[in-house]
Every structure is written in structure tokens, then in C-alpha cells.
Amino acid sequence: MNPVLLSVCVMLALSLMRINVVVALTLSAMIGGLSAGMSLTDTVSAFEGGLGGGATIALSYAMLGAFAVAISKSGITDLLAQTVIKRIHGHHPDQLSNIIKYSVLSLILLMTIASQNIVPVHIAFIPILIPPLLAVFTKLRLDRRLIACVLTFGLITPYMVLPVGFGGIFLHNILLKNLHDNGLDVTASQVPSAMILPALGMVTGLLIAVFFSYRKPRDYPVTEPVKLSETKTLDKRHITVACIAIVATLATQLTSGSMIIGALAGFVVFTVGGVIAWKETHDVFTKGVHMMAMIGFIMIAAAGFAAVMKSTGGVETLVEMLSTSIGHNKGLAALLMLIIGLLVTMGIGSSFSTIPIIATIYVPLAVAFGFSPMATIALVGTAAALGDAGSPASDSTLGPTSGLNADEKHDHIWDTVVPTFIHYNLPLIAFGWIAAMTL
């Protein structure tokens, strides 16, 4: 069996068996390397050599975690949670209208989208905002699988079509650059336009999750109530400092291209502005690191897994099999390219890291099959985005779980990974294929 295919299947099987994701990634990487004919020493060396590739992401998340903790100290997240709680206090669940439920979902969705493009804290806001709202979700009898789908949608769809914040990194710094590096002559304005149709697949999946799959109320066992933050008096000066810090973070990140430097700039503003006392900086940073530590370790392990997959040459073999076995069937070629992208991204856990791996092979292959430049953009971009939802090692699934499982009533695999895989990867394949065949 192809080593990439075998590794991804083993990783998914272990994850579904509730094996820790870091352990699953490490074991599957070893199995993939050995099945490709590599020695154990070479496999371990490739894995360890790739770990450094995840260090930047891990440090970025640590800094974003500290920045998110600083935002919470300004009282904004507590104010939001308490406002929602007061709105529903004293009401019987049957008396709560759908307007309140959908207002909460819309608010969460807007904040998630903002975390990618306006206030670039990415997933770091989730462990800060979501746990205080778990009591609200229970009161509203909301299915947490629905919340996971809403959060994952907001984490993925904006970077597919909006060239600002993380979208600017994905569409311009990574996708456009790799297309140019492989000889495809396209402009920056064409990239987001080509990704609009695939993004509609994400919208379709979200609508199905909201209005069909998880529409019915779901009750969760009540043991100890989720601890809610105490009501804080809103300090206008702190709010002003928070706004300045957010602007400074966004401006610095866009200027430097570094999430680390951007989050550091915002953290400094919070400290200088007095929201965080100088003597508290160590404790705040430590809390942020602790909050994001597991996600960081998983991303580091995923980088090692990706390095082994590159060393096996399994991706190239998969594509070679594709190109030699399907003749000139353009529609089948598009479908198989998307499915291979799904497998690769699910193993690596990052669409951003998948593009450099597949673009080198996919661009010449797409040109050979006669796909237009816009169709090629859609193929490569969608193939990379596929699997970001539904991968056990993706921050787009790890983030939602980090908040929804604060009371240990939400399973990462069965309540986040499986629902997001079903509702987003399947529509993405369909809409990505339509884009490839029509653009």
C-alpha cells in the first residue's frame, strides 16, 4: 500500500480509537516510513528533523494564547458571556425562542471570522470565550457538535476567500507564491475569485449542520455547573487599551508577516497600557502557554509526520498512479486530485503546509489535463483546504474542542472531527470539482 495512504489510515484509525493524537501521529509516521522501505533510523531522523518546522507555529500559538489572556483581562469576554447569561436567566428552555439560539450562533460565528481577519488571534480566543458560555449552551439545549461546526466554519472559510489576515497568508503568501514558483501565470486578484465557488461548499455544509443535522435540542448531563466568570465592572480605559492593542497586533502582523511579532506587539501594548501589571506578565504568558500547549505539541508532531511523508515520496507516487491510470478523463482527474489532497492534509493537519507539497505536482498535472489557470487555482486551493476540517491534528478542530470540552463532555474525535469531516469535506469535494470543471 502507498505509504502516505497507509499512514493516514493508521493515524485516523488510532484517533478513532481515542489514542492521543500526538501518539497516533508518531506511530503512523513510523509505520509509513518503514512501509516505504526506509530504515528505522532514517525514519526517526526524518521525523525529528521535521519537528523544527512546527516550532514556529507552536511559538505563535503560545504568543497568541498570551495575547488572548490579556484580552480577557480587559473584561470584554466576561461582559459578553454575562450579557448572554442574563438574557436567558429565569427562562425555561421551552420558552426560549429560536431567535436567541440563532443570535448566539451568529455571534460566535462573527467572532470566529473576526479572529482570522480583523483581530488575528486565530484559535486562541476559543478557550477564553467558550467555557463561560457552556452553561448558556446547556440552558439553550444546543448540540455542541453544532457549535463545533460553526467554529470550524469560521476558522476555515475566511482564509479561503478573504485576502486579509490569515487569508492574506494563505491566498497570497502561500498559494499564489507556489503557483508562480511552478510556472502558472496568475494574478493576485484571480486567487480569491477562483476560491469563491469552493467556499460555497463550506456554506452549504454549515447550513446543513444548522438546519438539519443538529437542529434538534440535545441535553447534557449536569454534574457540577461550569464556573462562570464573575461580573466585572467595565473599565473604559482598559477597553481603549484593548482596541489599541488589537490594532497594533493586526498592523504589526500584516507588516512583518509574523503572528509571533504581531501578538508580541499587542501584549506589549496591554502591559504599557496598564491592563497587565509588569509583575503579572510572567503569569499571564504562562497561562497562555498552558492554554495552547497541547495544540502546539500536536502541530509539532504533525510537522514531523509531514517530513516523513515527504521522505517516502508517497505523494509523488500517488499522483503518478493517478496520471497513468485514468487516461484523459478530465473529470476523474479533478476528483482524484481533490481526494489525494484530502488524504495529505488530514495527515499533515494544516492546509497551509500542504500547498508546497502538492503544488509542485498538481500545477504541471493540471496544465497537462487542460485545466484553465482559474480551475488550477481552485484545484490546488481546494485540495489543500480539504482535510483541514475533519483532521484530528488540525487547529481548526483542536481549537473548538479546547473550548467545548472544558467540562469534559465533548469528545474531540466523535463530537468535533467526525461532524466537521462529514459537513465540510464532502461538500468541498463536490463544489471544488464543479469549480475545476467550470472555471
pLDDT surpassing 60 at residue 96: no
Q: Residue 151's domain spans which residues? A: 3-217+227-438
- Model pLDDT, residue 85: 61
pTM for the full model? Answer: 0.74
Q: Per the structure, how many domains does the chain have?
A: 1
Inside any domain, residue 379? yes
Query: pLDDT tens, 302-332?
Result: 778 777 877 887 766 766 776 666 767 788 8
> 397 or 93: which carries more pLDDT confidence?
397
Query: pLDDT tens, 7-41?
Result: 878 877 887 776 777 788 788 888 888 888 888 88
Whole-number percent of the chain with pLDDT over 70: 81
Inside any domain, residue 389? yes
**Measured CA distances, 215 to 108, 178, 212, 226, 417 (Å):** 17, 41, 5, 23, 18
Inside any domain, residue 222? no
Task: Tell me the mean pLDDT in the region 417-431.
Answer: 92
Task: Tell me the mean pLDDT in the region 130-152.
Answer: 86
Inside any domain, residue 275? yes
Query: pLDDT tens, 261-290?
Result: 877 888 888 888 877 777 777 777 777 776
Mean of the per-residue pLDDT values of the chain: 79
Inside any domain, residue 325? yes
pLDDT surpassing 90 at residue 401: no
Query: pLDDT tens, 205-241?
Result: 999 999 999 988 888 876 554 444 444 556 677 777 8
- Model pLDDT, residue 311: 82
Query: pLDDT tens, 37-95?
Result: 888 888 888 888 877 766 676 777 677 777 777 777 776 666 666 666 666 555 555 55
Residue 283's identity, in one-letter code, is D
pLDDT surpassing 80 at residue 383: yes
Inside any domain, residue 117? yes
- Model pLDDT, residue 233: 59
Inside any domain, residue 186? yes
Task: Tell me the mean pLDDT in the region 330-343.
Answer: 84
> 24 or 423: which carries more pLDDT confidence?
423
pLDDT surpassing 60 at residue 127: yes
Work out the pLDDT band at 199, boundaries 50, 70, 90: very high
> 189 or 55: which carries more pLDDT confidence?
189
pLDDT surpassing 50 at residue 103: yes
Answer positive or negative: Cα dihedral of 144, 140, 423, 299: negative
Inside any domain, residue 270? yes
Which of the residue ranges 258-262, 374-378, 430-434 would you say has the lowest mean pLDDT?
A: 258-262
pLDDT surpassing 50 at residue 140: yes
- Model pLDDT, residue 223: 56
